[in-house]
Chain A
Amino acid sequence: MDPFSSVTELSRALANGALSSVEVTRYYLDRIHAHEALNSFITVTEELALSQARAADAARRDGSAGPLSGIPLAHKDIFCTDGVITSCGSRMLENFVAPYDATVVARLRAAGTVLLGKTNMDEFAMGSSNENSHFGPVGNPWDSTRVPGGSSGGSAAAVAAGLTPIATGTDTGGSIRQPAAFCGISGLKPTYGRVSRYGMVAFASSLDQGGVLGRSAADLALLLAHMAGFDPSDSTASEHTDAWLAELPARGLGTPERAPVIGLPREYFDGLRVGGREIDAARAVLERAGCRFREISLPHTAMAIPAYYIIAGAEASTNLSRYDGVRFGYRCPDPQSLDDLYRRSRSTGFGAEVKRRILTGTYALSVGYFDAYYLKAQKLRRLIQQDFLSAFEQVDLILTPTTPDVAFPRGALSDDPVAMYQQDIFTTPVSLAGLPAMSVPCGLVDGLPLGMQLIGPHFGERVLCETAELFQRESDWHQRRPEGFADD
């Protein structure tokens, strides 16, 4: 078996009987155990996986199987799973067993997928390096001394190392796209509201969006078709529907109806130190496939990082007030008063970055600072979104680098939170505007993967996925594999 098989390939092998789901599942479980040093999983659900695999094989036999029946996957440990620990990478929730499934988990379970386990992540999804996990850092399969990116670093590393064919993630300011870029895989952040947030531990509710990390645009689109859609349990879930996505599992991902016009925003390329040449080469591939390019401007790009860190911090400080040591989560021993119970439970249960974000958000929301910071950030958010809406009057898609550089060494940015935040410079504008975007591999720099970001208009996942697939049909960067993870 090839550990780097795509979901599409595995689905075909399961359908024609070349492989059983139990065989495939056992194979990936063995690989997860063999590569524990990567630390990409927090929980491995071996017994559950094998029982789901047996059920999927039975469904194949009685003819009730769908395209994802028997396909193994991993969920980021931010998605609630009934009966399985959901830690969110935090000491605060290290023993938390949710009494229900997240909508994403329930839908993928209903589609017949097999849960291999829950992947490592930055605590409460706050981080760009996966160094903020209570369960230890994750290695980058391309170079174990470097970070895999974050916050969905465990999902990205597990896919890149061939420990699972596909994994879910969440993206608040780049947490799917940046680790996908650092690990040489594809990652899709859908339009805000496309995928239900029900059962996804909340970080910043106006930005959080569930998505998927995998080997190809075709795989991501197939998973999206099974994850997305209206959910009455999430008050911000969109009621938008499109026939394209509903028909995708049966028809597959097609090619763009007409060759897209792609914008290149000068603010993302001016001063770019790494990746310019690789993105130029990718552009040439897309041009040969019929795409046309046009320079555009997104003038408020530089305001995205400050606006994002105010809005995300403010929403986080509010969302995380629920962790008080009373109803669930970590509780400190021997509290002396109710305030002492709250304070010591929170101070011991949360790690340094989470506390930093809570304090930043508390500052921005406090009396006397609200207008200068929170309201100002929301106004800038409007201007950033308007930049994109104006651009999409001229172009169908936008192409940018995903990150300003390739994966950095572990510890390199740990002492400087602001330098760490700058890693998100190309991903946060998209998050603030609520747009869909995908990072796809487009080159190697000194042996490390580089990603490019394709950005679509709201609910423009079709042209986004089809154009990414067009690129992957004409290039092989998404098929490169890190050394040391071949089947042996």
Chain B
Amino acid sequence: MADIDLAHLCQLAQLALSDAEQHAARADLARIIAMVDQMQSVATDGVEPLAHPLDGRQRLRPDVVTEAVDRARFQRIAPATEDGLYLVPRVVE
């Protein structure tokens, strides 16, 4: 059985799980980790990791302005804004 520190994982992932969800998550993760542990059966010494399927490199473009930011338009999807700023609920008194 894999050693899973669920509380730590939830903290890293910024998720809060109910007791029932925690119970299910532990069981599911144990099964998933047992499944992915099959990977350890194949020797991969000296194999170069593949991060991108075409071994693509990041392209560079000329350093010129191509787009303008339409702040009002982009902020229309925000839950709350004021004077061009994103508003978050007051959480620090």
A interface list, Cβ under 8 A from B: 96-99, 192-193, 206-207, 232, 235-236, 238, 300, 302-303, 305-307, 309-310, 317, 321, 324-329, 331, 334-344, 346-347, 350, 352, 355-356, 358-360, 362-364, 366, 372-373, 375-383, 385, 416-418, 421, 432-434, 458
Interface string of B10-42 (1 = CB under 8 A from A): 101111110001001100110111111111101
Q: Name the residue in A238, A346, A347, A356 with the highest tally of chain B Cβ atoms < 10 Å from its Cβ.
A: A347
Q: Which of A331, A337, A378 contacts B91 (CB 8 A)?
A: A337
A359 contacts B25, C-beta separation under 8 Å? yes
A383 contacts B42, C-beta separation under 8 Å? yes
Q: Which of A232, A302, A327, A385 contacts B50 (CB 8 A)?
A: A385
A-B contact pairs, 26 of them (CB 8 A): A192-B53, A193-B54, A232-B61, A235-B59, A300-B42, A303-B38, A305-B35, A309-B32, A324-B14, A325-B79, A327-B86, A336-B91, A341-B88, A347-B15, A347-B17, A352-B21, A355-B17, A356-B28, A359-B6, A359-B10, A360-B33, A363-B33, A375-B49, A379-B47, A382-B48, A421-B35
Q: Which of A232, A328, A336, A362 contacts B79 (CB 8 A)?
A: A328
Q: How far is the CA of A300 from the CA of B39 in the complex (A)?
A: 10
B51 contacts A303, C-beta separation under 8 Å? no
Q: How far is the CA of A207 from the CA of B54 in the complex (A)?
A: 11
A303 contacts B39, C-beta separation under 8 Å? yes
Q: Which residues of B contact A307 (CB under 8 A)?
A: 39
- By secondary structure, the A interface counts as helix
Q: Which residues of A contact B1 (CB under 8 A)?
A: none
The answer to whether residues A380 and B39 also contact, given A99-B73, A206-B51, A366-B9 and a CB cut-off of 8 A, is: yes
Q: Does B77 contact A (CB under 8 A)?
A: yes
Assuming A326-B79, A350-B15, what are 19 further A-B pairs, CB within 8 angstroms?
Answer: A97-B76, A232-B61, A303-B38, A329-B79, A334-B89, A344-B16, A346-B15, A352-B21, A355-B17, A355-B25, A356-B28, A364-B36, A379-B50, A382-B48, A382-B49, A418-B31, A418-B35, A432-B50, A434-B54
Q: Which residues of A contact B24 (CB under 8 A)?
A: 352
Q: How far is the CA of A306 from the CA of B44 in the complex (A)?
A: 15
A236 contacts B52, C-beta separation under 8 Å? yes
The answer to whether residues A335 and B59 also contact, given A306-B35, A378-B51 and a CB cut-off of 8 A, is: no
A303 contacts B42, C-beta separation under 8 Å? yes
Q: Which of B35, B42, B56 contacts A236 (CB 8 A)?
A: B56
B89 contacts A359, C-beta separation under 8 Å? no
Nearest residue, chain B, Cβ from A356:
B28
Q: How far is the CA of A483 from the CA of B89 in the complex (A)?
A: 53
Q: Which residues of B contact A238 (CB under 8 A)?
A: 54, 56
B interface list, Cβ under 8 A from A: 4, 6, 8-10, 12-17, 21, 24-25, 28-29, 31-40, 42, 44, 47-54, 56, 58-59, 61, 70, 73-74, 76-79, 86, 88-89, 91-92
Chain A-chain B contacts (Cβ-Cβ < 8 Å), number: 162
B53 contacts A363, C-beta separation under 8 Å? no
Q: Which residues of A contact B25 (CB under 8 A)?
A: 355-356, 359
B29 contacts A302, C-beta separation under 8 Å? no
Q: Which residues of A contact B52 (CB under 8 A)?
A: 206, 236
Q: Name the residue in B15, B47, B50, B58 with the highest tally of chain A Cβ atoms < 10 Å from its Cβ.
A: B50
Nearest residue, chain A, Cβ from B13:
A362
The answer to whether residues A360 and B53 also contact, given A327-B86, A340-B91 and a CB cut-off of 8 A, is: no
A99 contacts B77, C-beta separation under 8 Å? yes
A335 contacts B78, C-beta separation under 8 Å? no
Nearest residue, chain A, Cβ from B87:
A326
Closest chain-A Cβ to B81's Cβ sits at a distance in Å of: 9
Closest chain-B Cβ to A309's Cβ sits at a distance in Å of: 6
B42 contacts A380, C-beta separation under 8 Å? yes
Nearest residue, chain A, Cβ from B67:
A233
Q: How far is the CA of A232 from the CA of B67 in the complex (A)?
A: 12
Q: How far is the CA of A362 from the CA of B53 in the complex (A)?
A: 22
A193 contacts B29, C-beta separation under 8 Å? no
Q: Which of B32, B38, B54, B92 contacts A417 (CB 8 A)?
A: B32
A98 contacts B29, C-beta separation under 8 Å? no
